[in-house]
Amino acid sequence: MKFIAKLDAVCASNQSLLCIGLDPEYEKLPRFLVGKYGVNALFEFNKQIIDATADLVCAYKPNLAFYEALGPAGLEELQKTREYIPKEIITLADAKRGDLENTARQYAKALFEFYQFDSATVNPLMGYDSLAPYLRYSDKLIFLLCRTSNPGARDFQELNCEGKPLYQHLAESAREWNKDQNIGLVVGATAPRELGIIRKTIGNEMPILLPGIGAQSGDLEQSVKNGMGANKARLLVNVSRDVIFASSEKDFVQAARRRAEHWRARINQYRKNT
């Protein structure tokens, strides 16, 4: 199934634009899990979060750094997590890869063939040739960093380049490259005005991954209004820490579900009112 069709289907069936970031920072995991499972606590933690929230989300987004930091054992936990996610839900590898074509080809093979993720985040700074290996997977999708949620995004992404900010040039290029409808953009909820400009630039069809909600205090209401595309969807609103670390005690599963319900309800309220 093509990425867009799968995304639209799960957004409709779960009535959700919520994406949960599976970023199981080892030091923050519930101590009783670590004591019982050791490094394998990453998968056990993710498994219980997925079981508690799978009916509330459109996607899960593991950030590879939290697995790679633990070496081979951590990568095994990533693989088990990927395989456990229900097949109807979007899987998104937050990898932010970006390198020469021959290296990009190997990154793409790892993410899309070995781990079998539906999508991945990619850094477009090196230009089209560094993206081409990913785009050959026409049933997958890459989210290109465009206007990110961190404070330092302004250092380069808002630089005036020939009368427009760099992020707008990136959005225009992504629109031109999107021949197979397998490109999306990463735009932070901490920049809702810029998000509106980017959505107008790319049109209604291209998906946008929206980080910056929760711990980064992005503007959810304005971001939903400015970022939605076709069918009041095509927007993946990512929340990580506020959901998965809602509690570090034995009630962490119930706490995570309550926070996921909270965010889905708020997002849907703003969808409805837009």
Intra-chain end-to-end CA distance of the chain, in Å:
30
Question: Which of these, 47, 223, 87, 251, lies nearest to 147 by C-alpha position?
Answer: 223
Catalytic-labelled residue, pool 2, 47, 80, 96: 96
What are the tokens at 231? 């069918």
CA distance 52 to 70: 25
Q: What is the DSSP string of 93-121?
A: EEEEE---HHHHHHHHIIIIIIS--SEEE
Question: Which of these, 129, 194, 199, lies nearest to 167 by C-alpha position?
Answer: 194
**Active-site residue flag, 96:** yes
Element (H, E) at 148: none
Question: Which residues are annotated as catalytic?
Answer: 96
